[in-house]
Amino acid sequence: MNPVLSAPASSAAATAWTGRYQAVRQQTEALCAPLLPEDTVVQPMLDVSPPKWHLAHTTWFFETFLLKEYGAGYQVFHPDYAYLFNSYYNSLGSRVNRADRGTISRPPLADVLAYRAYVDQAMAGLLAQAEELPAAFAEVMELGLQHEQQHQELLATDIKYILSTSPLAPAYLSEPSKGKSEELTERQGIADYNVQQLPSTLPEARFLPVPGGIYRIGFQERGFCFDNELAVHEVLLAPFELQNRLVTNGEYLAFMEAGGYRDFRYWMGEGWDLAQREGWEAPLYWVKQPEGWFRFTHHGLQPLSLAAPVTHISFYEADAYANWAGARLPTEQEWEAAARYFGAGTRGGTWVESQRFDPQPLPASADPASCHQLLGDCWEWTYSAYHAYPGYQRAAGALGEYNGKFMVNQLVLRGGSCATPESHARISYRNFFHADKRWQFTGIRLARSVNR
């Protein structure tokens, strides 16, 4: 981990840390507020962690890497929590198997919240003297905040999965805890979801040309990034075209209705086999009802918005769709080069809307000659394996396990989703999942080679 930092260096710095720390920590708890204690224990599949575990694990991160390191005289909250809430750091000793996180009925949610309060109090003390701490402190402090924000996105998607597999499929943001949800709504500006307001028209899909040439890839901005974005390097790209917006549910439905799930020619072999074995006929969370297609969302079962971006698809489905559409997925280098070329600097004002945890349609008024929805709508599958950039070095110590050991067998996704904290939606960010995963907010952007 070699994050690039402009570290705060004064009592203003301490204040800044304190404010950010509190904001991040409160946001995590706000995400869990609509849950009942029972919801926070369940692990319906290996990829999904119980929310209680997320709450504790992010806390363990601060305790382990900051308080035990820099907090003079700090006493751990509970000697067993390191065993319970270490995620995957072999450097830090044995731990509960990932597959067994659903057995952690104790400590109860109340104890985990007490753990959070205890660590928050100790952190408040530590941050008060942040200016006296070595530079390394700031690096890890920044990482702790970023790490917790990553878990906020996982919380959002794991909660969705947990509720969807609960036989009653309760909604996250309405019943049965209406009161709490309304509170959250007001506090965070989550308006009531209204599918009737979806636009009936969309800007036409258009392929926008990107010139060939040498592009610099990797984090080139100011502020924080993860180590996997570092090692800026140049790549040579042939000219190509990128579509101006994400593929919509309506377009994906056309693929389905054209028999896309029944025609092996569009599919990678392993994807085809998996789709047959699992009986895939639509994206995850889609449910066919007599009156049409619905999707399970954080707001319960909702009618499908044809104009909204398709999401909850695997790489295999994204790739098959692209083949059917006569296009392909971009590489991560193409995506990043294009994003810079089109000036997709920020997600802008759309993010709060997306906080509904449901990617929204592009407004009908959007200019089809511009490139839209690059940041903060859906994670866009690229056709690039998640490998180390040339020159990448794993950090020493436990934090060297943060990213490096995952750099094989997965694919890169770019752009951030409607569940991604805003400060994580940046051009150089590299998210990564296996080709079969569908529980994240994943989507499709088409690319095309230019025939020369």
Residues that bind a copy of itself (CB under 8 A): 36-42, 44, 52, 80, 83-84, 88, 90-91, 96, 100, 102-109, 111, 162-163, 165-168, 170, 176, 214, 233-236, 238, 264-265, 267-272, 315, 319, 331, 383-385, 387-388, 390-391, 400-401, 405-409, 411, 435, 449
Please report how close the Cβ of residue 130 comes to a copy of itself at its closest, in angstroms: 30
Least distance to a copy of itself, CB of residue 329, Å: 10
Closest to a copy of itself by CB, 272 vs 441, is 272
* Distance in Å, CB of 7 to a copy of itself, minimum: 25
CB 59 within 8 A of CB 116: yes
CB of 13 to a copy of itself, least distance (A): 32
Nearer to a copy of itself, 17 or 402 (CB): 402
CB of 328 to a copy of itself, least distance (A): 8
Q: How far is the CB of 316 from a copy of itself (least distance, A)?
A: 8
The tokens describing 408, both together, are: 């094989």
Rounded least distance, CB 274 to a copy of itself, Å: 11
Nearer residue to a copy of itself within complex by CB, 83 or 125: 83
> CB of 131: closest distance to a copy of itself in angstroms?
34
- Closest approach, Cβ 315 to a copy of itself, in A, equals 7
Closer Cβ to a copy of itself, 62 or 315, answer by number = 315
Block residue for tokens 């509190």 = 22
- The owner of tokens 């869990």 is 32
The residue (of 108 and 199) whose beta carbon lies closer to a copy of itself is: 108
Closer residue to a copy of itself, CB minimum distance, 96 or 133:
96
Residue placing its CB nearer to a copy of itself in the complex, 314 or 417 = 314
CB of 100 to a copy of itself, least distance (A): 8
Residue 229 or 377: the one with the smaller Cβ distance to a copy of itself is 229
Q: How far apart are CA 20 and CA 13, in angstroms?
A: 11
Between residues 348 and 397, which has the closer beta carbon with respect to a copy of itself? 397
What's the 3-state SS for the chain? CCCCCCCCCCHHHHHHHHHHHHHHHHHHHHHHCCCCHHHHCCCCCCCCCCHHHHHHHHHHHHHHHHHHHHCCCCCCCCCCHHHHHCCCCHHHCCCCCHHHHHHCCCCCHHHHHHHHHHHHHHHHHHHHCHHHCCHHHHHHHHHHHHHHHHHHHHHHHHHHHHHHHCCCCCCCCECECHHHHHHHHHHHCCCCCCHHHCCCCCCCCCEEEECCEEEEECCCCCCCCCHHHCCCEEEEECCEEEECCCCEHHHHHHHHHCCHHHCHHHCCHHHHHHHHHHCCCCCCCEEEECCEEEEEECCEEEECCCCCECCCCCHHHHHHHHHHCCCECCCHHHHHHHHHHCCCCCCHHHHHHHCCCCCCCCCCCCCCCCCCCCCCECEEEEEEECCCCCCCCCCCCHHHHCCHHHCCCCEEEECCECCCCHHHCCCCCCEEECCCCCCCCEECCCEEECCC
